[in-house]
Amino acid sequence: MQKILLIEDEHGMAEGIKDALELYGFSVSHAGNAEDGEKLLDAESFDLVLLDVMLPGRDGFEMCRLIRAKGLNVPIVMLTARSEEVDKVVGLEIGADDYITKPFSMRELIARIRALLRRTNDQKQTPDVFLFGNVKVDFNTHKVFCAEKLVNLTGTEFAILKLLIEERPNVISRDKILNEIWGYTFCPDSRIVDTHILNIRKKLECEPSNPDFIKTQHGIGYRFTA
């Protein structure tokens, strides 16, 4: 049974999400604030974290940073009542894998969770190593090294990099990336893809603004060249 950590301070919202997830066969642990969530993360492992942005005390952004600072690659879905693009971009840049804006349907939430978990499981089953430039990508251990130093990619960043490498040198559209990585059958704000690509470039390219490997095909998407 896959385990999910829900960090949400609104009791009614938390109960509704917990009941829905358990109905679909997930095991759910709930924390009402970031501090309690951190204790649960330190005590046991989880397959995914649902993290509300507006928490008392330490907010969701701070908690997301903390999770990544601990070196945890667990998928993170941020729950937010903020619809502004800047808030979504900040969440993605600090390590979140996806976001969902309140109010949302439980059906959509379940679909997002399943897509992330499916992608994470697929990554674990790919025993392969790929080298380009001074970068080494180990698909078996889900680790990336740049100049022999470990690079902390989020789960979603790793999945996008893997997709681009597998499809090289073909151009991959934003719509295809959204569908393959998040399981979307429609196209929401494609900025989510661009933000993740930018983060990958910053971590792996010598000149992120003039990349050698992850190229932009204007008006279409991206392609990997090596």
Q: What is the CATH number of the domain that holds 23?
A: 3.40.50.2300
Both structure tokens of 28: 């759910």
Q: Return the amino acid letter for 124.
A: K
The label of the residue with tokens 């609104």 reads 10
What does the angle CA 103 – CA 104 – CA 109 come to, to the nearest 5 degrees? 145
Residue that wins the pLDDT comparison between 190 and 4: 4
Lowest-pLDDT range of 63-77, 86-100, 157-171: 86-100
Q: How many residues does the chain have?
A: 226
Looking at the structure, tell me whether residues 63 and 130 fall in a common domain: no
- In sequence order, the β-bridge partners of residue 37 are none
pLDDT of res. 1: 78
Residue spans of alpha helices (H) in the chain:
11-23, 34-43, 60-69, 85-93, 106-124, 155-167, 174-177, 191-204
pLDDT of res. 83: 66
Looking at the structure, tell me whether residues 96 and 145 fall in a common domain: no
Both structure tokens of 172: 């991959």
State whether residue 206 is helix, strand or coil. coil
Q: Return the amino acid letter for 4.
A: I
Q: Is the pLDDT of residue 179 over 60?
A: yes
At residue 224, φ and ψ (nearest 5 deg) are -105, 130
> What are the tens digits of pLDDT across the range 126-155?
447 899 999 999 988 889 999 999 999 999
pLDDT of res. 189: 59
Looking at the structure, tell me whether residues 147 and 64 fall in a common domain: no
Looking at the structure, tell me whether residues 112 and 164 fall in a common domain: no
pLDDT of res. 124: 54
Domain ranges, residue 115 = 3-121
For the chain, the domain total comes to 2
pLDDT of res. 163: 92
Q: Is the pLDDT of residue 220 over 60?
A: yes
pLDDT of res. 191: 81
CA 153 to chain centre: 9
> What are the tens digits of pLDDT across the range 23-66?
999 999 999 999 999 999 988 889 999 999 999 999 999 999 99
CATH number of the domain within which 210 lies: 1.10.10.10
Q: Is the pLDDT of residue 81 over 90?
A: no
Query: Region 103-126: what's the mean pLDDT?
Result: 81
Lowest-pLDDT range of 5-19, 25-39, 48-62, 166-180: 166-180
Looking at the structure, tell me whether residues 107 and 140 fall in a common domain: no
